[in-house]
Amino acid sequence: MTIDGPSGSGKGTVAARVTQALGWHILDSGALYRLVGLAAQRAGVDLCDTTAVAETARTLTAKFVDGKIFLDGEDVSLAIRTETAGNNASKVAAIPEVRSALLDWQRNYARLPGLVADGRDMGTVVFPDAGVKIFLDASADERARRRYKQLKDKGIDVNLLGLIAEIEERDHRDRNRSVAPLVPAQDAQIIDSTQLDVDTVVDRVLQAVYEAYPEAGLKNGI
């Protein structure tokens, strides 16, 4: 199943909760674009140099182990989560050769008993045949407020207006790029989470999965 949506829509949290409830595997595709951005930055590659960034994507040596993410053997799980890393990810993600370099890697991640794939183009490009597709949305203001709270809770000082501007800039880039722009798949179920709490969203997503895959529900006693 796939969960797509803009940054701050709660995809990551919902995908993790749904994965746990189902006992399935998870693919956080945004982490891959964040890794490419970080690897390029560390190698001194200019993010506007599309050929060099694409080469970084093709030669990426990243590993996902026990919920941690390693780049060239170093644990970068936290380093890839900053706002700068998110913005850099959005920039490298607009390069078509970067996207094609990561395509097989993502498809090879599909495994039994099932995969929850979270990103921007999971239902449209990477897994067009997925049995359940969710597009999780929320207003830009609400997404910025959630992100603001998350950062504050971590003790990171941020400016709410600056955050709204950054989110809008990232949305604009992700929605308007020429390859795999952020759009709901035609057969996606759209959930607007602006007024919903996480539990309600998780319940709706699980309901959609149990309808499409009754055996997943049986396993979970439903």
Q: What CA–CA distance (Å, rounded) separates 159 from 39?
A: 27
- Least distance (Å) between residue 117 CB and ligand DC: 8
- Least distance (Å) between residue 200 CB and ligand DC: 21
- Least distance (Å) between residue 139 CB and ligand DC: 17
Nearest to 193 by CA among 114, 135, 131, 120: 135
Query: Which token pair is 94?
Result: 């607009």
Nearer to ligand DC, 4 or 24 (CB): 4
Q: What's the gap between Cα 15 and its chain centre?
A: 9
- Least distance (Å) between residue 123 CB and ligand DC: 10
Nearer to ligand DC, 53 or 216 (CB): 53
- Least distance (Å) between residue 33 CB and ligand DC: 4
**Which residues would be at the binding site for ligand DC (CB under 6 A)?**
7, 29-30, 33-34, 86, 89-90, 93, 119-122, 170, 174
CB contact at 8 A, 6 and 23: no
Nearer to ligand DC, 177 or 210 (CB): 177
Nearest to 88 by CA among 46, 126, 124, 128: 46
Angle between helices 140-153 and 160-176 (to 10 degrees): 130
Nearer to ligand DC, 121 or 137 (CB): 121
Closest residue to ligand DC, judged by C-beta, is 30
Nearer to ligand DC, 11 or 213 (CB): 11
Q: What is the three-class DSSP state of 112?
A: coil
- Least distance (Å) between residue 31 CB and ligand DC: 6
Beta-carbon contacts of residue 171 (< 8 Å; ≥ 6 apart) = 6, 7, 140, 182
Nearer to ligand DC, 10 or 114 (CB): 10
Alpha helices in the chain (DSSP H): 11-22, 29-42, 50-58, 83-92, 96-107, 140-153, 160-176, 198-212, 214-219
What is the 3-state composition of the chain as percent helix, strand, coil, each rounded to the nearest 5? 55, 15, 35
